[in-house]
Amino acid sequence: MIARNPYVQNVRDLVRNPGEMRERHLDFPAPEHLGEGLVAVAGGTPMGIDVKLESLHEGVLASGTVRTRADGECARCLAPVSLPVEVEFAELFAYPSEEPFDHSLQGDTLDLEPVVRDAVVLALPFQPECVDGCEDLDLGPGINLITVDAPKPVDARWAALKDFPAAASDREER
């Protein structure tokens, strides 16, 4: 038995019937890994797609929203993160003609896969961060990558100068 591609939609009742419209809700696990950065939608992650298919004179307009989850690592602290992804898409699937189009109908079907894939991948953050923000990163004694309102360390060789009056340094500059 051949597995049915969940992205392929039959639009036989819409083809060449301008003004007709259908709404569909699709729920299925992502058939493939989407994304290559610090966060990505793993294959098998649940996806929800609300799509509106509208018949036009030029073809079938597919517009809708994709909802899923991307998992990966925070760019600052490398802690695991899970981010909700909600992105809209709209694409015209043109009737076959001599003019080149990005997407066209294949008979009575259209394939949403490239449209959904591009929308999801482009919505993923390039440098994801923890949802609550990263806390101080303590990497061991004396190593702290994020210092907020922390006193600056004083080099022991210059410690004696901290008590030196600032007025004396102003006189030397003149």
pLDDT tens digits, one per residue of 63-91: 999 999 999 998 888 889 999 999 999 99
159 pLDDT exceeds 60?
yes
The pLDDT of residue 51 is: 96
Residue 94 makes CB contacts below 8 A (sequence gap 6+) with 58, 59, 101, 103, 104, 105
The widest CA-to-CA distance across the chain, in whole angstroms, is 90
Residue corresponding to tokens 């923890």: 130
Residue 31, helix vs strand vs coil: coil
Q: Is the pTM of this model over 0.85?
A: no
Q: Of the candidates 38, 3, 39, 8, which has an alpha carbon nearest to the alpha carbon of residue 26?
A: 8
The pLDDT of residue 137 is: 57
Residues 69 and 45: their CA atoms lie apart, in Å, by 7
Question: Are 15 and 108 within 8 A, CB to CB?
Answer: yes
The CA-based dihedral angle spanning residues 46, 52, 53, 55, taken in that order and rounded to the nearest 10 degrees:
-170
Per the model's pLDDT, the better-predicted residue between 47 and 141 turns out to be 47
Question: Are 108 and 95 within 8 A, CB to CB?
Answer: no
Q: What is the DSSP letter of 88?
A: E
* pLDDT tens digits, 102-128: 778 888 899 999 999 999 999 999 888
> pLDDT averaged over the chain?
83
Question: Are 27 and 47 within 8 A, CB to CB?
Answer: yes
List the structure tokens of 136: 């101080």
45 pLDDT exceeds 50?
yes
The pLDDT of residue 17 is: 82
Confidence of residue 1 (pLDDT cuts 50, 70, 90): very low
The pLDDT of residue 98 is: 72
The pLDDT of residue 154 is: 72
